[in-house]
Amino acid sequence: MRFSEDAVNKTFFCVNIAPQDSYTNQHPWKDVEVKSEVKLRSTDGAFVQTGLCSADNVADGALTYRGWRIPSCFWKLICYKDASGTVQVVGFIGENTLTNVKDTAAQTRRTEATTKPRSQEDILKLLSTPAVVGEAWTTAVNMLLVDRNVTKSKLPTAAKCKAALTLSADVSAEWAKAIKA
């Protein structure tokens, strides 16, 4: 989002949309997105992927009464270098079943589950072809930085993003605190 206005505008292509439970979208998922951006301002940059918890990003969930296919959940992975220069990948999973607007207990459970930091390994387990995530890291590094005023050495490499499968308790706690702040 910091590269240019053009980069910001390109996040609004139609391939960037899928039906999402309104409570999740307007509350915990929004918190994950907004507070992740705030947290990442203290880094030299990051790569972010968001996908569907369906067969490798194809919305193949159950049909609704209107004929739309609904993904069972959404996921997000963020690859960045921490203050010590270590590459970290943190993930989030947002369930996509409908949340009853009158059921505050269900909303609390959804918020806790959605804002819980996850490892890349947790996200990869959701996919039948986890290699798509590794391919996306490579594509991001090789294509997104073309003609942009970015010092590549400050960003993580695709290989390091792919290799950061686990999430330490310290990094998890740091992100949990940032998202809940």
Instruction: State pLDDT tens for residues 86-112.
Output: 999 999 999 988 888 899 999 999 999
More confident residue, 12 or 139: 139
Please, which pLDDT band fits residue 145 given cuts at 50, 70 and 90?
Answer: confident
In a domain, residue 86? The reply is: yes
Q: Tell me how many domains the chain contains.
A: 1
Buried b (16+ CB within 10 A) or exposed e, 94-115: bbbeebeeeeeeebeebbebbb
Tell me, what amino acid is at 12?
F
What's the pLDDT at 35?
Answer: 95
Query: In the chain, what are the helix, strand and coil shares in percent, each to the nearest 5?
Result: 45, 15, 40
In a domain, residue 179? The reply is: no
CA distance 30 to 24: 8
In terms of Cα–Cα distance, which of 121, 120, 118, 117 is closest to 177?
Answer: 117
CA distance 88 to 90: 7
In a domain, residue 96? The reply is: yes
In a domain, residue 180? The reply is: no
In a domain, residue 181? The reply is: no
CA angle 131, 11, 88 (to 5 degrees): 45
In a domain, residue 177? The reply is: no
In a domain, residue 36? The reply is: yes
The pTM for the full model equals 0.85
23 lies in which domain range? Answer: 5-170
**High-pLDDT (> 70) share of the chain, %:** 82
Dump strand ranges (E) for the chain: 46-52, 73-81, 87-95
In this structure, the number of other CB atoms found within 10 A of the CB of residue 164 comes to 22
In a domain, residue 24? The reply is: yes
Residue 16 predicted with pLDDT over 70 = no
What's the pLDDT at 14?
Answer: 52
The answer to whether residues 141 and 158 touch, using CB atoms and an 8 Å cutoff, is yes
